[in-house]
C-alpha cells in the first residue's frame, strides 16, 4: 500500500463510516475497482479508531454527561448503551472467522448493500406514518437492545453500522436525527473494542507499514468529524432516501461488474 492509497482509504473511511452507506463495503469495493489489494479486516477496524475519536470529540460534552448521570442515577442512557453493545460483542466473537474472510466476498457485500437499502426504505415508510416521533430522553431499555441487535447485523460487510442502527431507530419511532445521534453514541464501545483488538493483531503481524495505518487513521478522523456534523444537520431536514437510492445503484453496479467478470468476488 502506498501513502496515496492510505490517504484515499482514510477519506473513504471518514466519509462512509457515519453515512448509512457502509465504510467496510467501500473500503473493499474501491480498492477492487482501482486494482489495489484488499486492505483487510484488521486495517479496516484499526482506521475506524480515527472516526471513533471524531465521535468522542464531537460528542465530548454528551459523553461526560452520560457517564456522570449513569453513576449519579440521573439517567440510564449510559447503562442502556452498554446493554445495546452486548449483541454485537456476542455475534462478533462467535462469527469472527466469517467476518474476516467468508463475508468479505463482493457477492455478500452487494447483497448486504441492496438488502439494507430495502429495509431502510421500509423503515422510512413506517416513519412517515407515525403521529409522534421520540427524542433521546424518551428512549427505553428495549430501544437500546433492539437497536443493539440491528448494530450486530452490521458485522456483515456492506450492511453499514450507522445504516443498521438508524434503521432500527426509525422502526422504533425515533426522530431521524435522534436515531443518528443514538447510533453514534452506541458505536463507541463496540468500535473501540474492535479497533483495539485488531490493533493488537496487527502488532503481531509480519510486515505492517505503520506510517500508512497512522496516516489513514488521522485522515479518517478529520473527514469523519465533518461527516458527523453534515449527517446530523441533514437528517433534521431530510429523509434517508438519497442514501437508499445510492445503495441500490451501487449494489446493482457491483453485481453487474461481478457478472461481467470485471471484478473478482474474493
Domain segments of the chain: what residues? 3-259
- Above 80 in pLDDT, residue 201? no
CA proximity to 196, closest of 44, 14, 49, 9: 49
Confidence label for 160 from pLDDT (cuts 50, 70 and 90): confident
Q: What is the mean pLDDT of residues 190-204?
A: 69
pLDDT (0 to 100) of residue 206: 54
pLDDT (0 to 100) of residue 36: 82
* DSSP letters for the chain: --HHHHHHHHHHHHHHTTTTT-HHHHHHHHHHHHTPPP-HHHHHHHHHHHHHHHHHHHTHHHHHHHHHHHHHTS--HHHHHHHHHHHHHHHHHHTHHHHHTGGGSHHHHHHHHHHHHHHHHHHHHHHHT-S--B-GGG--HHHHHHHHHHHHHTTSTTS-HHHHHHHHHHHTTB-HHHHHHHHHHHHHHHHHHHHHHHHHHHHTSSS--HHHHHHHHHHHHHHHHHHHHHHHHHHHH--SHHHHHHHHHHHHHHHHHHHTTSS---
Q: What is the mean pLDDT of residues 99-113?
A: 82
Exposure b/e, 104-137, CB count within 10 A at least 16 = b: bbbebbbbbbbbbbebbbebbeebeeeeebbebe
**CA-CA distance, 186 to 63, in Å (whole number)?**
11
- Above 70 in pLDDT, residue 199? no
pLDDT (0 to 100) of residue 203: 63
pLDDT (0 to 100) of residue 200: 67
Residues in the chain: 266
pLDDT (0 to 100) of residue 178: 92
Q: What is the mean pLDDT of residues 197-221?
A: 75
Q: What is the mean pLDDT of residues 185-198?
A: 78
Residue 190 corresponds to which cell in the numbers above? 463496540
CA proximity to 254, closest of 99, 103, 38, 30: 30
| pLDDT above 70 coverage of the chain, percent | 94
pLDDT (0 to 100) of residue 58: 92
pLDDT single digits (tens) 4-30: 888 999 999 898 888 998 888 888 888
pTM value is: 0.84
pLDDT single digits (tens) 60-90: 998 999 999 988 888 899 999 999 999 988 8
Q: What is the mean pLDDT of residues 122-135?
A: 86
**CA-CA distance, 35 to 57, in Å (whole number)?**
35
pLDDT (0 to 100) of residue 190: 79
- Above 70 in pLDDT, residue 171? yes
Q: Cβ distance 251 to 81 under 8 Å?
A: no
Residue 66 corresponds to which cell in the numbers above? 452520560
Amino acid at each position: 500500500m502506498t501513502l496515496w492509497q492510505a490517504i484515499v482509504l482514510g477519506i473513504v473511511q471518514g466519509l462512509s463510516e457515519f453515512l448509512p452507506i457502509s465504510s467496510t463495503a467501500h473500503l473493499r469495493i474501491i480498492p477492487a475497482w482501482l486494482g489495489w489489494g484488499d486492505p483487510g479486516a484488521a486495517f479496516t477496524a484499526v482506521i475506524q479508531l480515527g472516526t471513533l475519536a471524531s465521535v468522542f470529540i464531537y460528542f465530548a460534552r454528551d459523553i461526560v454527561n452520560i457517564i456522570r448521570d449513569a453513576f449519579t442515577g440521573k439517567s440510564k442512557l449510559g447503562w442502556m448503551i452498554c446493554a445495546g453493545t452486548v449483541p454485537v460483542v456476542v455475534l462478533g466473537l462467535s462469527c469472527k472467522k466469517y467476518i474476516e474472510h467468508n463475508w468479505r466476498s463482493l457477492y455478500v457485500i452487494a447483497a448486504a448493500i441492496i438488502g439494507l437499502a430495502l429495509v431502510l426504505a421500509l423503515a422510512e415508510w413506517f416513519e412517515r406514518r407515525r403521529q409522534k416521533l421520540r427524542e433521546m430522553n424518551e428512549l427505553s431499555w428495549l430501544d437500546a437492545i433492539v437497536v443493539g441487535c440491528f448494530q450486530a447485523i452490521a458485522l456483515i460487510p456492506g450492511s453499514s453500522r450507522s445504516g443498521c442502527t438508524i434503521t432500527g431507530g426509525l422502526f422504533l419511532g425515533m426522530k431521524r436525527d435522534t436515531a443518528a445521534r443514538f447510533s453514534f453514541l452506541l458505536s463507541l464501545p463496540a468500535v473501540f473494542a474492535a479497533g483495539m483488538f485488531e490493533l493488537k493483531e496487527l502488532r503481531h503481524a509480519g510486515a505492517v507499514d505503520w506510517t500508512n495505518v497512522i496516516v489513514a487513521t488521522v485522515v479518517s478522523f478529520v473527514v469523519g468529524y465533518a461527516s458527523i456534523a453534515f449527517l446530523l444537520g441533514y437528517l433534521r431536514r431530510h429523509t434517508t432516501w438519497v442514501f437508499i437510492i445510492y445503495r441500490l445503484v451501487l449494489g446493482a453496479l457491483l453485481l453487474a461488474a461481478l457478472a461481467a467478470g470485471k471484478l473478482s468476488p474474493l
